[in-house]
Amino acid sequence: MANDNNPVSQAFELQRQALERSQKAMQQGIEFQQRLNEAMLSGVEGSAEASERGSEMTREAIHSTLDAIEGMVPEDEADFDQIREAIDQQFDAAEEATQEANEQALEFTEAGFENAESAAESYVESVDQQVDQLRQAHEDLEEQTLSFLEQTEAQLEKLQQEAEGTPFEGFEQLQTQMEELRERLSQ
């Protein structure tokens, strides 16, 4: 690339920097989403564990209550072993169903996050490729623009030399406009 002090080159550099910042912001957004997904997955796992602990605590509380009742009731009036067994069967069935549902929910959630992550990675790769192509096209355009400006300036200088000694108001006006354009671009 040409002179970095050239206002045109500076404008192109600012555009490239904006493009790079946008690309980085997009990547950070996707990384944030991945961290959020991981946190949600941990939450699902933690919820399943809490549910299991709650169920076990409830079972123990019912058994403690039965123990207390059994201590107050004469021995032959109720078969507390049979009641405990029925309660345990119900809790076992409920825990099994809950565990199965939790496993399915976890598998579904993991699969969804894996699919989302895979899609995000493909998207980032695609955007990176497109940004690289855009960056290259942008650099080519900058080179062409600078080359055009250099050629135009050279032609103007040549015209000035050829017109030396003759009044050439159009040239002076064009030269003034070029200087004004440079000043505006450098602001």
Whether 83 is covered by a domain: the verdict is yes
Whether pLDDT at 1 is above 50: no
Whether 17 is covered by a domain: the verdict is no
State whether 52 and 106 are in the same domain. Answer: yes
State whether 57 and 92 are in the same domain. Answer: yes
Q: Residue 159: what pLDDT?
A: 76
How does pLDDT run across 35-87, given as a tens digit for each residue?
988 888 888 888 888 888 988 999 999 999 988 888 888 877 778 888 889 99
Q: In total, how many domains does the chain have?
A: 2
State whether 86 and 125 are in the same domain. Answer: no
d(CA 114, CA 110): 6
How does pLDDT run across 105-164, given as a tens digit for each residue?
888 888 988 898 888 889 889 988 998 998 899 999 989 988 888 888 888 888 777 766
State whether 78 and 130 are in the same domain. Answer: no
Whether 96 is covered by a domain: the verdict is yes
State whether 50 and 100 are in the same domain. Answer: yes
Counting Cβ atoms within 10 Å, is residue 105 exposed (0-12), middle (13-18) or buried (19+)? middle
Average pLDDT over residues 4-15: 84
Where in the sequence is the domain holding 52, given as residue range(s)? Answer: 44-112
pTM strictly above 0.95: no
Q: Write out the DSSP string of 63-75.
A: HHHHHHHHHHS-T
Inter-residue contact 40 to 109 (CB < 8 Å) = yes
State whether 103 and 154 are in the same domain. Answer: no
